Structure 1
Amino acid sequence: MNPKILFIDDEPHILKAFARLFRKDSFDIITTSSPTEVCELVQNDEFALIVSDQRMPKLEGTKLLEQVRELSPDTIRIILTGYADKEAAIEAINQGSVYRFLTKPWDDHELRNEIKRAIDEHRLRQENKRLQELTLSQNEELRDLNQNLETKVRERTEKVTLLNQQLKQGFIGSIRAMAQLGEMHSSDLGEHAKRVTVTTGQIGKQLGLSMDDLFQINSAALLHDLGKIELPENLLAKPYNKLIPVEQRQVQNHVILGEKIAQMVPSLEKAAVLIRHHHEHFNGSGYPDGLKGEEIPLGSRVIFVADYYDHLANNKSGAQPKSPEAILDSMKEHSGTWFDPQVLSALHKYLLPEEHESALLDYLNKQSVNDTPEVKQTNKKETVQSIHSQNSEVESVTEAEMDVTVEQDLRLRPYELELGMTLSRDLFSNNGGLLLPRGTVLGQRQLENLRSLSLANPISDRIFVNPQPVEEKKNTTSKETPQKTPLQV
């Protein structure tokens, strides 16, 4: 479409001259001598350029082009003026009413060039306007797309998160269902597996294991004896060292069967390997493959230590239960032969944190014999505090994240106990005597006696209870003012 040019002059012969001058150009030329008609034409059509004479009888050119600007801001406006009207034309340019002015009489070549430059300017302005409108439109579309995308991403994320949660719950449900098989076969096996899982998770925390490793190790711990479901109850009840060789081989086969069962669940491949090797000994004397040292997966070494400790702590032989200190002392005899020393140390640190700190201070004292006088005892304490600070970062992992297979028991001091809490482990006095068995639901009288005992002869603060009380909380004795009554538990 050719650009349209409107010429206005009160002299007809000048208008004819304009028409002749541009007859060979690709312009649509329209001429008029009426200012009123100019406004009507501009309202009804789109003009690229208007060229107006300055001196006209009814209206000056600058005034007319001001009206045109209001009606059609994009139209380029040029004034034709004589020398005497230059100042008026310059003022009109400064005010933005006109693009530029040309003088009469004009040079045809110069006029043609100015008209073409004005048309190019109009095209440039129109293209710029088009691009701006396109940019605004695209920005608006992009804004809408971004909003829609954010909504879709949020919706998709929620769906994926929900699906992952459902898959995780289904996965954990499968693990617990398999664990339930062992518990149905033997309640002792089920309870033992839960306790070992708790201890395994705590050892793993002391070792600074990752969340994925903790999950796999805890899963393996919960299922580590699942292969025993094929064993008869009379065989399960006999101590391993009293079994004849044929029976021992039959018991040893439970790690192979447990591995096969775990392999049936997707994503439990690592746990299956841990189950297979949880009876390997650090010196290579274990079964089924005789692995030794770091050939044994770390998770298997952890489960073996927790498994062995739980058997000693919860033996069914009728012998007097041993304290954690006594059990650890007996296990230390096999450190480096059966047990990984690092794992055994982690169990010791979990069960006896105060003793572990004391041993660490003794070690630092020995190391500082040859130190310079400037090395003070406070430095050793700061070192211990630094080590505990590092460990606290590991312990900041929530229980739910650390162990997704079973609920964790709570570790409380005597004054933190509350009515209705259930002991999850046997409670021993400092001299190794059994105060309360595992499963005891704490009543008002027992709480008062325990708190009274802790004042007279502080008992260990290693009191473990289930995470949820069996009964609703009732009126409890103030933690700050325990009753001083004789111990009767």
Structure 2
Amino acid sequence: MTTTELQEPPVAEANEGQLVVPTVLTVDDEPSVLSALRRVFRVQGIKTLQATSAAEGLILLETNHVDMVISDMRMPEMDGARFLEKVRAHDESIVRILLTGYADISSTVAAINKGAIHRYIAKPWDDQDLVLAVREALVRRGLEKKNAELTELTKQQNEQLRDVNQTLESRVAARTSELQQINGMLDAAYEDLNNTFLHAVNVFSSLLEMRGGQSGHSRRVAEISQETAKQLAMSERDVRDVYLAALVHDIGTIGFPDAMLGKPISTFTAEEHQRYRRHPIDGETALMTMSQLQGVARIVRQHHERWDGKGFPGGVSASDIVLGARIVAAASDLDDMLHGCMGNQRYTMDAAKKMLIGGVDTRYDRTVVETMLKVVDDMASAAKADVQLDVRDLRPGMVLARAMVSSKGATLLAAGHVFDERMVRQVQGFSMREGVRLSLWVQRKPDASEADAAEAQGSEK
């Protein structure tokens, strides 16, 4: 076995700026064949390793980097076909060429069919054909090797990209979850702030009524106005504005002298009438500085306007009057008639309804009156189902059916308030501290049969 390394310019591919010299292992039991092969490859600048048997060839494979193996077919102990199969098992990327004579053609075909060799070259060979075959095989091996490297690189990059995407997805999911939590907290904070704001307006409205002597008027007007606005399909924001405007629609009377407070309008003097007709403007002025109450301020200004244009303070008519003001006007007059604030007598519900109907197309919007009368009937029917209970029996989740008022008529909690644990403790604590036995009206929850019937009815619809 001999080894030859050549100094001539090698036939090789560039690798990071350096030439890589290909190595060919030649195996033949005839030294003269090995010498001939060595001379051919020396001229081409190809490094050769030589072995005189398959066993020696396998040893060289274990200790050297080999790009190609050229083996004779007829060798003692192990023929070339079997030897090249072992080469393939050692490293499938090594190019395998079989030197064979004409008599070995059947064995050669069998070796090719098994996939053990890339090609065969018949003896005796032509040097030029041999060089071309070797060059072609080495180029193909280089391309295959490069393709394998690129494939592996692509695989690694894809794995890295997948890891990056998974990391990015995790970050996005974490950020999304964080934003959802923040939004949830903001929504809860906004809801709490909104509830606090509504409660503050209720308290302020009650304070106004305590001075004016019309206990519960604004609260009752607000409840009827709110339900009417809902039935008229107003937006959630507009329904809120109607409710708040109804609570503070008489805020302009805060500057009235004591002699005018609680006095029926029909008994006002000319000077008192003049002052009374200005209170919608004073109310708007008091509210318009708050951005949240711009819509409320406009309703307050127009709640004494009439459908026929004979109202005050602007004399506007019909649809030029905002819908919220048309609702509050009718609701306020209805409550005034029922509680004796419009004249010296109180009207029955039936009589008050007839008065409203009689004012349609002059004082009131027909659609508003028709809707409001239905709302009043529905509220009366719903009130029959309300449950009165002692404050000690109050539980979280219960809904206040009727406004909770103080002994002086001030609204403490508006109808529709949903009790949570904190409010339950506060109300019960107030009752114990003041020694006042409070009873509340809450909405009755339907029993199981009623709930099932309601659900079935909804499904039919």
Report what 2:240 is aligned to. 215
1:122 aligns with 2:145: yes
Describe the superposition over 1:173-195 as per-residue Cα deviations: whole angstroms up to 9, x where unpaired. Answer: 23432442332232355722222
Report what 2:85 is aligned to. 62
1:296 aligns with 2:318: no
User: 3-state DSSP class of the match of 1:53?
Assistant: strand
Q: Are 1:410 and 1:466, in contact at CA under 8 Å, matched by a contact in 2?
A: no
1:164 aligns with 2:174: no
**Which residues of 2 match residues 12-411 of structure 1 at below 5 A?**
12-13=34-35, 14=37, 17-18=40-41, 20-21=43-44, 31=49, 33=51, 34-41=57-64, 49-51=67-69, 53=71, 55=73, 60-69=83-92, 75=93, 77-82=95-100, 84=105, 85-93=107-115, 100-104=118-122, 105=125, 106-187=129-210, 188=213, 191-315=216-340, 319-323=345-349, 325-352=350-377
Q: Are 2:224 and 2:376, in contact at CA under 8 Å, matched by a contact in 1?
A: no
User: 3-state DSSP class of the match of 2:439?
Assistant: coil
CA distance in 1, matches of 2:251, 2:50: 104
Structure 2's unaligned 5+ residue stretches are: 1-14, 29-33, 52-56, 391-399, 404-408, 420-437, 450-461
Output the amino acid matched with 2:141. A
Once the 2 structures are TM-superposed, how far is the Cα of residue 251 of structure 1 from its aligned partner?
A: 2.6
Output the amino acid matched with 1:345. E
Report what 1:387 is aligned to. none
Report what 1:470 is aligned to. 439
Normalising by structure 2, we get a TM-score of: 0.67
Output the amino acid matched with 1:351. V
Q: Are 1:79 and 1:89, in contact at CA under 8 Å, matched by a contact in 2?
A: no
Q: Are 1:8 and 1:15, in contact at CA under 8 Å, matched by a contact in 2?
A: no
Output the amino acid matched with 2:62. C
Output the amino acid matched with 1:306. A
Once the 2 structures are TM-superposed, how far is the Cα of residue 320 of structure 1 from its aligned partner?
A: 4.7
Structure 1's unaligned 5+ residue stretches are: 24-28, 70-74, 354-408, 426-437, 440-463, 481-489
Normalising by structure 1, we get a TM-score of: 0.63
CA distance in 1, matches of 2:266, 2:94: 108
Output the amino acid matched with 1:90. I
CA distance in 2, matches of 1:261, 1:31: 105
Once the 2 structures are TM-superposed, how far is the Cα of residue 339 of structure 1 from its aligned partner?
A: 0.9
CA distance in 1, matches of 2:84, 2:322: 97
Once the 2 structures are TM-superposed, how far is the Cα of residue 332 of structure 1 from its aligned partner?
A: 0.8
CA distance in 2, matches of 1:260, 1:54: 112
Q: Are 1:278 and 1:304, in contact at CA under 8 Å, matched by a contact in 2?
A: yes
Q: Are 1:224 and 1:258, in contact at CA under 8 Å, matched by a contact in 2?
A: yes
Larger radius of gyration: 2
CA distance in 1, matches of 2:364, 2:85: 104
CA distance in 1, matches of 2:315, 2:68: 101
Q: Are 1:54 and 1:80, in contact at CA under 8 Å, matched by a contact in 2?
A: yes
Report what 1:9 is aligned to. 26
CA distance in 1, matches of 2:248, 2:191: 17
Percent identity for Structure 1 against Structure 2: 18
Report what 2:382 is aligned to. 412
CA distance in 2, matches of 1:166, 1:267: 17
Going from structure 1 to structure 2, the CA distance change for 1:216 and 1:32 (only over 3 Å counts) comes to farther
User: 3-state DSSP class of the match of 2:361?
Assistant: coil
Q: CA RMSD in A?
A: 3.7
Number of corresponding residues: 363
